[in-house]
Amino acid sequence: MKSFKDAASQFAGLGGYEVLTTFSCIRCRAVQKKIKTVIMGGPNKGQPLIETTECHCRLSRETAAAAKAAKLKHFKKHWTVNPSIKDATLFNFEGRTEEGKRAFSGVQWFFEKLKDGEKARLVMMGTSGQGKSHLALGAAKYAEQLGKGAIFIEVPTLKQLLQSTFGNDTDLKQIDIFRAFRECDLLVLDDLGSEKEGEWIDEVLFNILNDRLSKPLIITTNLSMNELYQRYHPRMIDRMFEGMGKEDLIKFKSDKSYRMRKFFEDDEDE
């Protein structure tokens, strides 16, 4: 479909318009014209029509929007999310405990640093069922709302994801996955430590963490700090906590999951 600018150019060869004024767009500085033409047909035939030629702003906005959509779609295809938390967002997180409130504040602080271009890294540590994965997935979704390319990966599924690239009949190659992990604006590694132990997967995780040095990263794990050192090589732990301060480590100390906590409320009241 022709734009008005195209139509006006066509009329120019026919002498079919009058330039009323010329000015520059205050944003893109492109020259624009206010043009008077005559309606060529229909019930208003012969009536004057005043229009303004387009500048580059609309095209730039459309190009930027298309690029943003393509970027989000590109990284989204690498996500692995457990169906039980697929609807999780930061806005439906029920952080009723002090630990939950502190964790939510930690995520807020993470995004403040992300917006300011500072090192944004966060590790949430504690027993299962505390809401760590909920917050991590919510953070990935919120990053997308900010126009950031985010990837959410459940670490136990990482080996299966990479193995799915084996063979010649797949469009997705292992090199594409590693490049996406390296280039995305935010990488979330959920449930680190729950994957099956093995030298191969440990090396994969080390390479991923090494590629994310100084880049935004969120990790959740059910392991304590001592258990992390028992499970992984110290060089990998060093990559995990690179550039982090104490405020970037959130520890959940409760031994009851939020799913089960309601069953203990009556006992605590007695």
Tokens of 40: 């060529």
What confidence score (pLDDT) does residue 61 get?
65
Residues 108 and 10 in one domain: no
| Per-residue pLDDT at 8 exceeds 50 | no
Residues 82 and 210 in one domain: yes
What confidence score (pLDDT) does residue 43 get?
73
What confidence score (pLDDT) does residue 11 get?
39
Say if CB 135 and CB 260 are below 8 A apart: no
Residue range of the domain that includes 138: 66-265
Nearest to 244 by CA among 144, 131, 109, 146: 109
270 is a domain residue: no
Cα radius of gyration rounded to whole Å, the chain:
27
| Higher-pLDDT residue of 25, 155 | 155
Nearest to 252 by CA among 130, 136, 121: 130
- CATH classification of the domain holding 174: 3.40.50.300
Q: Which of 59-68, 95-104, 177-186, 250-259 has the lowest mean pLDDT?
A: 59-68
pLDDT digits (tens, 9 = 90+) for 145-195: 988 999 999 999 988 888 877 665 556 678 888 888 998 999 999 999 999
What confidence score (pLDDT) does residue 229 get?
95
Q: What residue has token string 């999310």?
A: 81
What confidence score (pLDDT) does residue 122 get?
96
Residues 102 and 200 in one domain: yes
pLDDT digits (tens, 9 = 90+) for 208-263: 999 999 899 999 999 999 999 999 999 999 999 998 988 999 998 866 666 555 55
Residues 137 and 240 in one domain: yes
114 is a domain residue: yes
Say if CB 248 and CB 119 are below 8 A apart: no
Instruction: State the Cα–Cα distance between residues 33 and 51, nearest whole angstrom.
Output: 8
Read off the pLDDT band of 135 (50, 70, 90): very high
Outline where the chain has alpha helix (H). Answer: 4-12, 57-76, 98-115, 132-145, 158-163, 174-183, 199-211, 225-231, 234-240, 265-269
Residues 84 and 49 in one domain: no
Give the strand pairing for 31-38 and 17-24.
antiparallel
Residues 26 and 80 in one domain: no
Residues 89 and 119 in one domain: yes
Residues 192 and 219 in one domain: yes
Instruction: State the Cα–Cα distance between residues 100 and 210, nearest whole angstrom.
Output: 30
Residues 18 and 76 in one domain: no
Read off the pLDDT band of 94 (50, 70, 90): confident
Residues 20 and 148 in one domain: no
- Percentage with pLDDT > 90 across the chain: 38
72 is a domain residue: yes
| Higher-pLDDT residue of 172, 144 | 144
Residues 47 and 109 in one domain: no
Instruction: State the Cα–Cα distance between residues 257 and 143, nearest whole angstrom.
Output: 26
61 is a domain residue: no
| Per-residue pLDDT at 15 exceeds 60 | no
60 is a domain residue: no
Query: What total number of domains does the chain contain?
Result: 2
Say if CB 150 and CB 94 are below 8 A apart: no
What confidence score (pLDDT) does residue 156 get?
92
Residues 213 and 90 in one domain: yes
184 is a domain residue: yes
Pairs from 50-55 (Cβ < 8 Å, separation ≥ 24): 50/20, 51/4, 51/8, 53/4, 53/5, 53/8, 54/3, 54/4, 54/5, 55/25, 55/27, 55/28, 55/30
| Per-residue pLDDT at 12 exceeds 50 | no
**Chain-wide mean pLDDT for the chain?**
81
101 is a domain residue: yes
Q: Which of 11-20, 27-36, 179-188 has the lowest mean pLDDT?
A: 11-20
